[in-house]
């Protein structure tokens, strides 16, 4: 049996995603959990593990980009339509959604693989909402929101929104020099910051999560950008991302006979498969169902907020938070900070509302906790 | 086996709520007293270990009872 070129790319993507799913399952790799550890326990270890993945992704991806092996200019992260409000508002909604849905898109896929049926329901709602926001009824809402707030960078003489292009064009300094400097400064700085925590340096699971996930992100760029390069049948250059692909996966499964598989779809399926296999082999497969009404309602809200917000901000904690950041683009920075803000605010609100505190009072307490006080 | 002074029912709550409620419960307790927490979220096992490690409240016991997870925390 011979594989077509695109099938081979899909197969590589599936295998890398399986590694991702297994690693994330084993190490509890979770962005929301990382923020929760920070906000609720004052521990930044899990956040540093997450940053280690980001730093490695930046260094690896930029190495491929700056040496001309992977062309990032056609990716959504380097697009010239700079929808600042979409990144911020979408990211913020996503942050709220991942907190009440007990995990972001990636975490949800891992949980589905480990037998969590609550996450399966959330995933289906997320998929429908994401697809509706992409192509359906909610796309109208999305365009109403992003249309008036999008800055067209091409009109201002920029070829992409990459920091190298923006700074290089504005100052006249060589883009490669800027790219190398930013990679060393930002990527290297983040890795060093992450490794300053002894628990990150010395505990196997922390290193596995940080290094493993970082390499998975780089591998995805390598697969679509280098291995997928073909004069006649080029693969679209695409990184690891989960919201848009979850919507596409549902559409693909429902229209299978008339559809072709894409890289994003195999990432979704591979992540579930990797997590499932890990759970099976370690005996941790465990069916979980809804306990009560609010459990169901929270997961439904989580799915809707993440589906809509994730498409609006062009990515999730992984799509923008690590993959987008690895391309060094300002939109990814805005989206990521907004996701963190939405998540942190929701956790604080949950803490105060549990006291029976009124909404307005809870908002004030949250603001005083999260905003710099002096 | 230490007898708990306070109990917290965090069953049916998802991450991050069990930790959040435990933190809240500990706030109202005196140093040296023990809090028993019952949870159903499998992620809570790792979370409470990290919580104890970070906050200095001692994790006296962490056990799986049927389909539940029980923890004993002594307030520092």
Residue of B nearest to A32 (CA): B16
Could you check whether the bond before residue A163 is cis, i.e. omega within 30 degrees of 0?
no
CA distance B15 to chain A (A): 6
What is d(CA A20, CA A33) in angstroms, rounded to the nearest whole number?
A: 17
Which 8-state DSSP code applies to residue B27? Answer: H
Beta strand B34-39 pairing with B68-74: antiparallel
- Give percent of chain A above pLDDT 90: 84
Catalytic residues of B: 15
Q: Do B12 and A298 touch (CB under 8 A)?
A: no
Residue of B nearest to A344 (CA): B16
- pLDDT value for B16: 87
For the segment A72-79, the average pLDDT, to the nearest whole number, is 93
What is d(CA B41, CA B67) in angstroms, rounded to the nearest whole number?
A: 10
Residues of A in contact with B25 (CB under 8 A): none
Report the residue from B15, B19, B21 with minimal CB separation from A41.
B19
Q: Do A33 and B14 touch (CB under 8 A)?
A: no
- pLDDT value for A38: 92
Sign of CA dihedral A122, A82, A214, A343: negative
Q: What is the mean pLDDT of chain A?
A: 94
Reference A12, options A327, A223, A183; nearest CA is: A223
CA distance A274 to chain B (A): 18
DSSP collapsed to 3 states, A266-334: HHHHHHHHHHHHHHHHHCCCCCECCCCHHHHHHHHHHHHHHHHHHHHCCCCCCHHHHHHHHCCCHHHHH
Please enumerate residues of A whose Cβ is less than 8 A from a Cβ of B. 28, 30, 32-33, 36-37, 40-43, 45-46, 99, 102-103, 118, 284, 286, 288, 291-292, 295, 298, 347, 350-351, 354-355
Q: Do A41 and B51 touch (CB under 8 A)?
A: yes
Q: Do B11 and A40 touch (CB under 8 A)?
A: no
Report the residue from A36, A291, A354 with minimal CB separation from B16.
A36
For A125-138, how does the pLDDT look when each residue is reduced to its tens digit (9 = 90+)? 999 999 999 999 99
∠ at Cα A56 (A206, A339), nearest 5°? 80
Asked whether residue A298 carries a pLDDT value surpassing 90, the answer given is: yes
What is d(CA A279, CA A283) in angstroms, rounded to the nearest whole number?
A: 6
- pLDDT value for A354: 79
Q: Which of A41, A108, A113, A298 to mutate to test the interface with B (most CBs of B within 10 A)?
A: A41
Which 8-state DSSP code applies to residue A119? Answer: H
For B12-53, how does the pLDDT look when each residue is reduced to its tens digit (9 = 90+)? 888 888 998 999 899 889 999 999 999 998 889 989 998 998
**Helical H segments across chain B, by residue range:** 17-27, 44-55
Q: Do B15 and A45 touch (CB under 8 A)?
A: no
Q: Which of B12, B16, B46, B69 to mutate to test the interface with A (most CBs of A within 10 A)?
A: B16
What is d(CA B71, CA B73) in angstroms, rounded to the nearest whole number?
A: 6
**ipTM of the complex, rounded to two decimals:** 0.85
Q: Do A41 and B50 touch (CB under 8 A)?
A: yes
CA distance B54 to chain A (A): 6
Q: Do A33 and B51 touch (CB under 8 A)?
A: no
Residue of B nearest to A355 (CA): B24
- pLDDT value for B1: 65
For A206-215, how does the pLDDT look when each residue is reduced to its tens digit (9 = 90+)? 999 999 999 9
- pLDDT value for A254: 95
Q: Could you count the other beta carbons within 10 Å of the beta carbon of residue B23?
A: 16
CA distance B51 to chain A (A): 6
- pLDDT value for A313: 97
Which 8-state DSSP code applies to residue B8? Answer: E
Q: Do B40 and A291 touch (CB under 8 A)?
A: yes
CA distance A273 to chain B (A): 20
- Give percent of chain A above pLDDT 70: 99
**Interface contacts (A, B; CB < 8 Å):** 60
Per the structure block, which two tokens stand in for A211? 């290094």
Residues of A in contact with B23 (CB under 8 A): 40-41, 351
- pLDDT value for A373: 58
pLDDT confidence of A1, banded at 50, 70, 90? low
For the segment A314-329, the average pLDDT, to the nearest whole number, is 96
Report the residue from A28, A30, A40 with minimal CB separation from B19.
A40
Asked whether residue B54 carries a pLDDT value surpassing 90, the answer given is: no
Helix (H, G, I), strand (E, B) or coil at A152: strand
Asked whether residue A374 carries a pLDDT value surpassing 60, the answer given is: no
Tell me how far CA of residue A47 lies from CA of A53, A206, A366, B18, in angstroms.
10, 10, 21, 19
Per the structure block, which two tokens stand in for A358? 């009124």
For the segment A56-81, the average pLDDT, to the nearest whole number, is 95
For A254-286, how does the pLDDT look when each residue is reduced to its tens digit (9 = 90+)? 999 989 899 999 999 999 999 999 999 999 999
Residue of A nearest to B10 (CA): A291
């Amino acid at each position: 049996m011979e594989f077509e070129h695109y099938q081979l790319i899909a197969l590589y993507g599936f295998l890398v995603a399986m590694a991702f799913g297994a690693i994330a399952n084993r190490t509890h790799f979770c962005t929301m959990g990382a923020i929760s550890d920070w906000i609720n326990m004052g521990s930044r270890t899990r956040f540093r593990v997450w940053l280690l993945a980001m730093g490695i992704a930046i260094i690896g991806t930029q190495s491929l980009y700056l040496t001309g092996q992977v062309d990032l200019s056609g990716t959504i992260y380097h697009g010239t339509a700079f929808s600042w409000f979409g990144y911020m508002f979408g990211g913020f909604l996503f942050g709220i959604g991942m907190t009440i849905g007990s995990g972001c898109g990636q975490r949800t896929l891992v949980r589905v693989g480990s037998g969590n049926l609550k996450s399966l329901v959330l995933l289906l709602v997320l998929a429908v909402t994401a697809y509706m926001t992409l192509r359906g009824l909610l796309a109208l809402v999305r365009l109403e929101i992003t249309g008036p707030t999008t800055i067209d960078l091409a009109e201002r003489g920029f070829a992409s929104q990459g920091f190298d292009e923006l700074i290089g064009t504005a100052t006249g300094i060589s883009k490669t020099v800027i790219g190398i400097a930013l990679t060393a400064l930002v990527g290297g700085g983040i890795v060093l910051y992450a490794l300053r925590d002894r628990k990150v340096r010395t505990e196997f699971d922390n290193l596995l999560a940080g290094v493993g996930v970082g390499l998975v992100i780089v591998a995805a760029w390598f697969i679509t950008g280098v291995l997928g390069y073909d004069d006649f049948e080029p693969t679209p250059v695409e990184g690891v991302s989960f919201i848009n692909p979850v919507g596409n996966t549902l559409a693909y499964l429902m229209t299978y006979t008339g559809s072709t598989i894409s890289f994003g779809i195999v990432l979704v399926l591979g992540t579930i498969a990797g997590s499932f296999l890990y759970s099976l082999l370690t005996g941790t497969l465990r069916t979980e169902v809804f306990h009560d009404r609010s459990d169901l309602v929270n997961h439904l809200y989580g799915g809707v907020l993440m589906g809509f917000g994730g498409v609006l901000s062009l990515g999730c904690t992984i799509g923008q938070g690590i993959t987008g950041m690895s391309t060094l683009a300002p939109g990814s920075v805005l989206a990521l900070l907004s996701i963190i803000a939405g998540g942190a605010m929701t956790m604080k609100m949950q803490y105060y509302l549990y006291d029976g505190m009124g909404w307005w009072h809870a908002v004030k307490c949250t603001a005083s906790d999260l905003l710099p006080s002096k | 086996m230490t007898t708990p002074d306070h109990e917290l029912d965090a069953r049916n709550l998802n991450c991050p709520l069990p930790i959040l409620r435990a933190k809240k419960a500990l706030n109202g307790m005196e140093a040296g007293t023990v809090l028993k927490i019952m949870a159903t979220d499998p992620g809570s096992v790792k979370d409470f270990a990290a919580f104890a490690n970070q906050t200095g409240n001692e994790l006296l016991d962490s056990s799986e009872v049927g389909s539940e997870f029980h923890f004993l925390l002594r307030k520092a």
